[in-house]
A and B are shown apart, each in its own frame.
Chain A
Amino acid sequence: MTAEMSSSNGLTETAPDPDLVAGSKILEEAARAAAVPVQRLSDTLLRCGETAGIIFYGLTGQTCGRSAEMLCSNDAWLRAHLADQGLPVVACQLRDVAAGDTAGAAAAALGFPLRLRPALADQPVYEVAGPEELPQAWRAVADGLPPRAQLLLEQAPVAQELHLAVVAGRVVAGTPDSAPSAEVADLALRAVELLPGAQYASVEFRVTEAGAWIYRVDPLLRRWARHPEPAARIAAAILATELGQPPE
C-alpha cells in the first residue's frame, strides 16, 4: 500500500506497493503451476480461472473483503473488535492529535514502557520509557499531522514477534518457522474468523512467557511476499480456496 492509501483508506492506488506486486507474481506462478488460466490485468491485479474467473489483488482474491481490510487498517479498531470477543490483544488507546493533554492519563492507564505512533501508519514511532518522555514524543509524532488525526498509544512489553498465515481455517505458514503452540494457532484462527468477509489473513502476535497477544492482522498478507517459500505455500492455499478446492 502506498502512503496515500494508508492515510486515507481510499481505493485509488497511485503507485503499486512492492509487496503487493511481488505477491501478485507469486500468485501467478502458483496458478501456472496448478495449470489455472491466468490473465495479468496490472502489476497487482490478476485474473485466474475459466470464464470470468476470480480477480486477485496481490496474494488475495474474492474472499478478502474491503470491510476486513478497512477494520484491520487501524490497529485500535481491530483490537477493540477482537477484545470484544474475548481474544487477548496488545492494549492501546486512540487519541486525537489535539488531545495531547489527555495523553498522560491514557499512558498511565496502559503503563510504561509504551509506544506512540500515528494510528494509520507505523512511522514515526517513539518508544516512551516514562511519563517525562511523553510530551516530547507526542510533539514529535504529531508534528505535521492535522488536529483530528489520531495517535495510538500502545503497550510495548519486551516480547517476541510471531507471524502466522491463516488460510481457510488452517495455519499454513509462520515466522519463526517453528510450529506455534496449539493455543496460539487457535487464537490466530479465531482472529481471522472474526473478521467480516475474510477467509485468510496474516496474524501478528507479541509473545512473552506470560502468553501471546494479538498485535495486528493483515488480510492482504503483505509481509509474506518477502518470503518466497512460505509465500508460494500461501498462494497455493489461497488459490485452491478461491477456486473451490480447499487444501487438505
Chain B
Amino acid sequence: MGAPRIDTVTLARYVGPGRAIRRPHGLVVRLVAAGVAGIGEAVVAGDTTEAAWRELRHLAGQLVGATLPAQVDPAAPLSRIRGWQPVGATDRGPRRAAKLALELALLDVVLKRAGEAGGSVAAPAPSATPLPVHPLPRVEPGSPLEDLTDAVAAEPASAAMLRLRLTGDPEHDLAWIRHLSRVERKAGRDRPLWLVGGGGNREEAADFVRRLAAAMAAGEVVDQVLWEEPVVRKQQSLLSKLRQRSPLGRLSGRPELAALQRLADQLLGEGQPRPRLSILAGQSVVSPAQAAALAGRIGGLHLSLSRFGSLVALREAARAVKRAAPQTTVLLAHERGSGITRSVLHTVAHTTPEIDLHLPEPPASGWPELTGTPAEESHRRGLVDELDLAELSTVADGVVTLPEPKRPAAAVPPNRFPDYPLAGAALAVRSMLLETEALRLGLATRRLARDFFLVERPGTGQSLGFFDSESTQTSVAASMAAADKGVTRILLERAGLPVPEGATFPATARDQAYQAGLALGFPLVVKPAGGSKGTAVTTGITSETALARALDEVIASKYADTGIVIERFATGHDYRLLVTRRGLLSVVRREPASVIGDGQRSVEELVLAANVVRRHNPHLGKRLIRLDERVDEQLAQQGLTRHSVPAAGQRVQLRAEANLSLGGDSREVRDETHPSFQELAVAVLDAIPGLPYAGLDVLLEDHRIPVDQQQVTIIEVNSRPVQSLHHFPMYGPPRNVSVDLVREAVVAAGWPVTTPTDQLTVALTVAGRVDSRSYQRWLAGMAGPLGVSGWIGDGGEGRIEGVLHGAPPQVGLLLRLAFHGPADAGIVETRAVPVDVTVPDGFTVGRKGRSA
C-alpha cells in the first residue's frame, strides 16, 4: 500500500436547532484519500460560525494534496501531515472547533486505511459500556416538587444516571435532591445522581458539601452522588482567563476542587464505597497537563471533546490521569451534534481503555443524523461509517469543495439574496413582502394572522386587506371560482381561451367519469376540482387501470366532495404568468430539477451544492432536491447513479416534473416573452370577473414566439399567486411584484400613491400574551444580526412599543418575526406605522431608547 494523498476535502455546515437567527452550526468535514473517506464534525455557537467556517476553509486548503502516513497508530502521525496544525494552547473557540473537525476526519481516514490493511486500532476496549444519562429539566427556585416527579416519570428507565442542574439556592437544591432520592427509591431504584454547578464560591460550596454529606449519611439521599464543577468562577477577569489558558495555568490543579473532595471524604469516611460523594472537574479541564494534575485528588474528570478541541489530546489526558492515579474515574462527556459526533464518541469510548464511562444523553431533536452506510465493510473500522450526503443536502446551508471545482463555461451563476437571512423559514414570506411594500408606500399596517393583515390610511379610518396575496379587490366569488378547477375551465372555455378538453363530475358519478375519460382518449389528467398543492392529481394516465386508480384516489381524498375533473393531458414547458389588468408583471419558466457536472463532483455532491444555493433563496429554501427513488430512476435512465461523476458541462436531469417543490429551477423570462402572452393573460382575468390579478399556470412550447404559432394550454388560475416566486427566481432578473400588487389595491381604493422609500422607519406596537421583558430581549436579539436599529420597550396596558429602522427587507422581516414571537408567546396583533424620526445606530431594550 503506497502513501495516499488527500485528494479532495468537502466542508459543509448546517444549522442546529433553535429559533434564534444565530443558531449553533455543525461543521462537517469529509476528506477523501485514495477512495477512502474520513468524516469529522464540530459544533460552534451561532456567533462564532463565520469565524470557524473561515478557519476551516483556510486549514482544509493546506491539507489538500498532503500525504497520509501509513502507520496505524493515529496519535503520532498527524503531525507528519503537511499542512496539519494540531490544536494549540492559544487556540480559541472557532479555530479549536475547525481543528477538531479536521482532526477527526484525518483520524477517521487513517483508521479506515488501517482497517483496509487489516489493522486493529479500533478494536473494542474493555471499558466499552456507555452509561446513558437522563438530563432533568432546568428548574427555577420555587418550582413545585411535582414537576420533578413528572420529569423522573417521563425519563427512560434505561438511563443509568440522573443529571440535575443546581440553581445555587442551597435550600431549594437540597429539597430537590432529597425528593429525587425518594422518587427513585419508591420506584425501587438507587441510581447515581449527577449534580452540575450551583455551588457558589468556595465557602458556599463547602457548606453545601457538609449539608449534602449529612443527608447522605442519614440515608436521605441516593448512595452515589457526583458533583461537577461545584465552585462557580464568577466575574472572571480577562487576566485570569488568559492565565488559565497559559501553559502555567494549564498545569493548575484547581485546588478548591481537591479541598472539597477531601472534605467529602472526611465526612463520609475515606475509602468507604458507599455512600460516596465524588467531586468532578469538567469545563475547567482543557489539557492533559491539567488533567494529570487533578488525578487522585478528586473523584473524577469529565472530559469534553469540544473543550479539548482534539481527540488526540483528550486521549492523552485520559492516559495521563490513569498513569498518575488509576483509581480516578475518567468520564467522556456528551456533546451536541449530529450522528457523526455520537458515532465518534461511541467509538472513542469503546476503544480507549482509560475512559471508564461514557455518558450519552438522548439525542436532542433538531440535530440531523448524517451518518450513512460505508461502501466497504473495512471502512467501519474508523470513527464514523460514512457521511449521508443525501441527508446532508437537505440541511446544509454552506458547502465548499477543495480543490475548488471549475465552473463550466456555459453555467450561469444563480441569483443570491443576502438580504433575507431567514430564507426558507416558515414565515409566510409572501404576506411579509406585501406588508413591507405597503409600509414603503407610507401606509400603516395591522397584522392579525401570519397570512392576513390590514393596510390603513392613517387618519381616515379607511383600510385595505391582504389575505395571503389576495387583496381587497379579490371577491370571494372570484376566489371560489378560481379555486374550482372545473368552474375555471368552463369560464375560460366560454371566453374562447385555450384549456384542456375535459369535464367535471361529482364524486358519486365515478363510472360516468371513467366512461368520459375513455371517450376523451389517453393520455389524461385526473384531479379534484377543489384540490390544492397537487393533492390527488394524476397526470399522464395512459391505461384503463391507471384511470381507475386515479379516480379512486380523488374519491378517497379530502377534496372528493368538490368533484372530479378529467382532462386531456396537455404537453409543453411549464410557466407561471403573473398578470394584473394592466399587464404582465412577471413570467417564470419552471424547469425540472437538474445539476450540471464539473468533472470532479459526484451527482450527490452536486445536489448538495445546488441545495445550499436553494436554501439561501427565500422562495426555494424549503423546496429542496430530495435524493430519493424517483431521482435514482431518473438517473438510471441516463446511465448514472448518485455516485457517478458527470463530465464538465453535462446536464443531469433529476426529475421528470417541472415542479419547484421537487427541486425544480425557476427562470424569470418576462423581458423575452412575446407580447401576445400579455393579451392572453389579461383575457383570462376578463373571463373571471372579480380577480384584480392572478397567477396563471400555462403549458407552452416557447415563450418567445407568438401565442397563435404554438400549442398553449391554460392549466390553472390562482387567485392567490405566490409572489415570492417572482421576487426570488433562481435565474433571471428578480421582480418586485409585491409593490405592484399593493399599488393596484391602493389605486383601486382611490388613495394617493407615493414613491416607495428606500429606508423604513416604523413605530411598532405588539399586543398579546407575552412576558414583556423576555420578548423585548428576544426581539433585540433578532434586530442586531439583521442590522435593524431602534428600540423596544414596555408600552403599558400589556403592550410593547418600539421603533425599527433599516433597509425595508430587514425591517419587514423583523416585523414578521415580531408577530411570530418567541416559542412561549401568543401574539394577537402587531401594528406598524411609518414615522419620521431620527434613529441612532444600534438596538436598545428600554423605553424610547433609554438603556434598560
Interface residues of A (CB under 8 A from B): 9, 11-16, 41-42, 44-45, 47, 52-57, 60-71, 74, 76-77, 80-81, 84-85, 94-96, 98-99, 102, 148, 150, 194, 196-197, 219-220
B670 interface residue per 8 A CB criterion: no
Would B470 and A52 count as touching, CB distance under 8 A?
no
Q: How far is the CA of A67 from the CA of B826 in the complex (A)?
A: 23
A14 and B477 contact, Cβ closer than 8 Å, known pairs A45-B484, A194-B461 = no
Pick the contact of A11: B449, B472, B690, B720 (CB < 8 A): B720
A-B contacts, 19 listed (Cβ < 8 Å)? A11-B479, A41-B490, A42-B563, A44-B480, A45-B487, A52-B689, A55-B481, A61-B475, A62-B478, A64-B476, A65-B474, A68-B465, A69-B476, A70-B452, A70-B467, A71-B454, A80-B829, A94-B828, A220-B476
The complex places the Cα of A56 from the Cα of B481 at a distance, in Å, of 9
Within 8 A of A (CB), among B560-590: 560-563
Query: A62-B689, A67-B467 given as contacts; is B481 within 8 A of A52 (CB)?
Result: no
Whether B481 contacts A66 by the Cβ 8 Å rule is no
B483 touches A197 (CB 8 A): no
Q: Name the interface size band of chain B.
A: 35 or more
CB <8 Å contact, A71 and B690: no
Picked from A45, A70, A74, A95, the residue with its CB within 8 Å of the CB of B477 is A45
- A102 CA / B467 CA spacing, docked (Å): 29
Chain B residues positioned under 8 Å from A194 (CB to CB): 461, 463
| Contact of B495 with A by CB under 8 A | yes
Residues of A within 8 A of B531 (CB): 12
Q: Known: A14-B562, A45-B484, A63-B475. Is A54-B690 also a contact (CB below 8 A)?
A: yes
| A to B contact number (C-beta, < 8 Å) | 150
B465 touches A57 (CB 8 A): no
User: Which chain A residue has the least Cβ–Cβ distance from B494?
Assistant: A39
Contacts A14-B561, A14-B562, A194-B461; A55 near B471 (Cβ below 8 A) = no
Residues A96 and B689 in contact in the complex (CB < 8 Å), given A12-B530, A60-B476, A65-B475:
no
Chain B residues contacting A99 (CB-CB under 8 Å) are 769, 826
Question: Are B475's CB and A98's CB within 8 A?
Answer: no
**Which chain B residues numbered 187 to 211 have a C-beta less than 8 Å away from chain A?**
none
Check if B454 sits within 8 Å of A196, measured CB to CB. yes
Contact residues of A: prevailing secondary structure:
mixed
Q: How far is the CA of A102 from the CA of B483 in the complex (A)?
A: 40
In the complex with contacts A63-B475, A67-B470, A197-B473, A77-B559 CB distance below 8 A: no
Interface residues of B in 399-417 (CB under 8 A from A): none
Residue numbers in A under 8 Å from B463 (CB-CB): 81, 194, 196
Closest to A57 in B: B477
With a cutoff of 8 Å between Cβ atoms, the chain B residues found around residue A60 in the complex are: 475-477
Least CB distance, A197 to chain B, in whole angstroms: 4
Given contacts A61-B477, A66-B479, A102-B769, contact A197 B487 (CB under 8 A): no
Name the residue among A11, A81, A220 with the largest chain B CB count within 10 angstroms. A11
Cβ of A94: which chain B residues have Cβ within 8 Å of it? 828
Residue in B473, B480, B490, B531 whose Cβ sees the most chain A Cβ within 10 Å: B480
Question: Which residues of A lie under 8 Å from residue B530 when comparing CB positions?
Answer: 12-14
Hey, which chain A residues are within 8 Å of B470, CB to CB? Answer: 66-67
Question: Taking the nearest CB of chain B, how far is it from the CB of A82, in angstroms?
Answer: 10
Contacting residues, chain B, for A102 (C-beta < 8 A): 769
A69 to B464: give the CA distance in the assembly, Å.
12
Measured CB to CB, the nearest residue on chain A to B683 is A52
Contacts of A47 in B (CB 8 A): 491
State whether A55 touches B464 (Cβ < 8 A).
no
B375 at the interface (CB under 8 A from A): no
In B427-472, the 8 Å CB interface with A consists of 448-449, 452, 454, 461, 463-467, 470-472
Output the least CB separation between A157 and chain B (Å). 24
B688 to chain A, nearest CB (A): 7
Smallest CB gap from A95: residue in B: B769
Query: Judging by beta carbons under 8 Å apart, are A52 and B686 in contact?
Result: yes
Most chain A CB within a 10 A radius of its CB, from B463, B476, B687: B476
Q: Judge whether B464 and A197 touch: CB under 8 Å.
A: yes
Cβ-closest 9 pairs across A and B: A67-B465, A197-B472, A57-B477, A96-B826, A70-B467, A55-B477, A196-B465, A15-B561, A66-B470
Q: A68 to B452, alpha carbons, bound, how many Å?
A: 11
Is the Cβ of B687 less than 8 Å from the Cβ of A52?
yes
- Decide if B757 is an interface residue (CB 8 Å cutoff): no
In the complex, chain B residues 513-543 whose Cβ is within 8 Å of any chain A Cβ: 530-532
Q: B residues within 8 Å of A by Cβ?
A: 448-449, 452, 454, 461, 463-467, 470-481, 483-484, 486-487, 490-491, 495, 530-532, 558-563, 686-690, 719-720, 769, 826, 828-829
Residue of chain A at shortest CB distance from B446: A81
Which residue of B473, B559, B690, B828 is within 8 Å of A55 (Cβ)? B690
B456 nearest in chain A by CB position: A84
For B562, the chain A residues whose CB sits under 8 A away are 12-14
Which residue of the partner chain, among B464, B481, B688, contacts A67 with CB atoms under 8 Å?
B464
Complex formed: what's the CA distance from A11 to B484 in Å? Answer: 10
Q: Which residues of B contact A45 (CB under 8 A)?
A: 477, 480-481, 484, 487
**Which one of A47, A65, A80, A102 has the highest number of Cβ atoms from chain B below 10 Å of its Cβ?**
A65
Contact of A96 among B454, B474, B769 (CB under 8 A): B769
New contact pairs (8) apart from A57-B477, A66-B471, A99-B826, CB-CB < 8 Å: A9-B452, A14-B530, A45-B477, A65-B473, A65-B476, A66-B470, A74-B448, A96-B826
Say whether A41 contacts B690, CB under 8 Å.
no
CA distance A178 to B735 in the complex (A): 56
Q: Which of B475, B480, B826 has the most chain A CB atoms closer than 10 A to its own CB?
A: B475
Whether B826 contacts A12 by the Cβ 8 Å rule is: no
List, in ascending order, chain B residues with CB within 8 A of A44's CB: 480
Given A14-B559, A77-B448, A99-B826, A70 and B475 touching (CB < 8 A)?
Answer: no
**In angstroms, how far is the closest chain A Cβ from the Cβ of B660?**
21
Asked whether, in the complex, the Cβ of A148 is within 8 Å of the Cβ of B826, the reply is: yes
Please give the distance in Å from A159's CB to the nearest CB on chain B. 26
Would A64 and B477 count as touching, CB distance under 8 A?
Answer: yes
Contacts of A11 on B, CB cut-off 8 Å? 479-480, 483, 719-720
Q: Roughly how many angstroms separate A84 CA and B454 CA in the complex, as a whole number? A: 13
A210 to B109, CA, bound (A): 84
Contact B558 A70 (CB under 8 A): no
Task: Please tell me if the beta carbons of A67 and B480 are within 8 angstroms of each other in the complex.
Answer: no
Q: Which residues does chain B contribute within 8 Å of A16, judged by CB atoms?
A: 561
The reply to whether B769 and A55 form a contact with Cβ atoms under 8 Å apart is: no
Residues of A within 8 A of B486 (CB): 42
Task: Tell me, in angstroms, the Cα distance from A6 to B238 when the chains sit together.
Answer: 60
Inter-chain CA distance A142–B466, complex, in Å, is 29
A52→B484 CA distance, assembly (Å): 17
Most chain B C-beta atoms within 10 Å of own C-beta, residue among A60, A61, A194: A61
Specify the chain B residue showing the minimal Cβ separation from A20: B480
Which A residues touch B491, using CB under 8 A? 41, 47, 55
Q: When the two chains form the complex, which single residue of A13, A56, A95 contacts B483, counting CB atoms closer than 8 Å?
A: A13
A12-B562, A13-B562 known; A67 and B690 CB under 8 Å? Answer: no
**Residue of B at shortest CB range from A61?**
B477
Which of A41, A57, A81, A98 contacts B454 (CB under 8 A)? A81
Q: How far is the CA of A85 from the CA of B459 in the complex (A)?
A: 10
Say whether A67 contacts B487, CB under 8 Å: no
The complex places the Cα of A41 from the Cα of B687 at a distance, in Å, of 13
List the B side residues contacting A76 at CB < 8 Å.
828
With a 10 A CB-CB cut-off, give which of B466, B478, B530 has the most chain A CB atoms: B478
Q: Report how far A64 CA is from B689 CA in the complex, Å.
A: 12
B596 → chain A closest CB, angstroms = 39
B144 to chain A, nearest CB (A): 14
CA distance A60 to B475 in the complex (A): 9
CB contact between B476 and one of A42, A57, A96 (< 8 Å): that residue: A57
